[in-house]
Structure 1
Amino acid sequence: MTDIKYILDDNVDDSINQQLIALLSRCFTKPSDERFKVQRYYNEMPQHRWYIESPSGDAIIAHLAVHEKTVLLRSQQALIGGVAEVCVHPDYRGHGYVKLLLKQAHNWMAQQGYVYSVLFGRDEVYSSSGYERVTNLYLVGEEVPPRATSVSAMVTSLTDKKWPHFKVELKGLAF
Structure 2
Amino acid sequence: MYNIRSLQEGEEEALYDLLAVSFTKGNEEIPSVRKIQKQIIESEPSFSHELNRVIEVDGKLVARVGIYDRTMLFNKREFRIGAIGGVCTLPEYRGNGLAKALLDDCTDYMRKNGFFASMLFGEPAIYGRKGWQVLSSFGISSNLKLPLPSTLRIRSADLKEDMAWLKYIYDDINSDLNGPFRRSKEYWEKWIFRKIIIRESHNIKIVENKGQKLGYYVLKADNTICEMGWDRNVADSFNELIGAIFSEAETETVNFIFFMQELFDFICNNSISPELDDMRDKKYYVSKDAIYCGLFKLIDKTEIATTEELISLLRKNNYIFWDIDHF
TM-score bucket of the superposed structures, by smaller chain: 0.7 to 0.9
Output aligned runs, 1:10-89, within 5 Å. 12-13=9-10, 16-29=11-24, 36-38=33-35, 39-40=37-38, 42=40, 44-45=43-44, 46-47=47-48, 48-54=51-57, 56-57=58-59, 59-89=60-90
Any conservation in 2 of the 1:70–1:170 contact (CA below 8 Å)?
Answer: no
Aligned to 2:300: 159
Structure-2 separation of matches of 1:135 and 1:65: 23
Q: Cα deviation per residue 1:71-108 (whole Å; 9 max; x = unaligned)?
A: 11222211100111110111111111111111111111
Aligned to 1:168: 319
Quote the offset at 1:157 in angstroms: 0.6
CA RMSD of aligned residues (A): 2.9
Moved more, 163-172 or 18-27: 163-172
- 3-state SS of paired residue (2:96): coil
Shift in CA distance, 135/42, structure 1 to aligned 2, threshold 3 Å? farther
Quote the offset at 1:70 in angstroms: 1.0
Structure-2 separation of matches of 1:34 and 1:153: 29
Quote the offset at 1:154 in angstroms: 1.0
Any conservation in 2 of the 1:63–1:88 contact (CA below 8 Å)?
Answer: yes
Q: Cα deviation per residue 1:48-77 (whole Å; 9 max; x = unaligned)?
A: 1110112x21x2101011111011122221
Quote the offset at 1:145 in angstroms: 4.2
- 3-state SS of paired residue (1:63): strand
Moved more, 60-69 or 162-171: 162-171
Any conservation in 2 of the 1:71–1:169 contact (CA below 8 Å)?
Answer: no
Q: Report sequence identity in percent.
A: 22
Shift in CA distance, 170/26, structure 1 to aligned 2, threshold 3 Å? same
Any conservation in 2 of the 1:116–1:159 contact (CA below 8 Å)?
Answer: yes
Aligned to 1:5: 5
Shift in CA distance, 111/17, structure 1 to aligned 2, threshold 3 Å? same
Indicate the structure whose relative CO is greater, using CA pairs within 8 Å and at least 6 residues apart. 2
Shift in CA distance, 173/92, structure 1 to aligned 2, threshold 3 Å? same
How many residue pairs were aligned? 167
Q: Any stretches of 5+ residues in structure 2 without a counterpart?
A: 138-177, 189-203, 205-214, 218-226, 229-256, 259-291
Aligned to 1:119: 120
Shift in CA distance, 139/79, structure 1 to aligned 2, threshold 3 Å? closer
Higher Cα Rg, which structure = 2
Shift in CA distance, 61/102, structure 1 to aligned 2, threshold 3 Å? same
Aligned to 1:98: 99
Shift in CA distance, 169/74, structure 1 to aligned 2, threshold 3 Å? farther
**Which structure has greater helix proportion?**
2
Structure-2 separation of matches of 1:41 and 1:99: 26
**Which structure has greater strand proportion?**
1
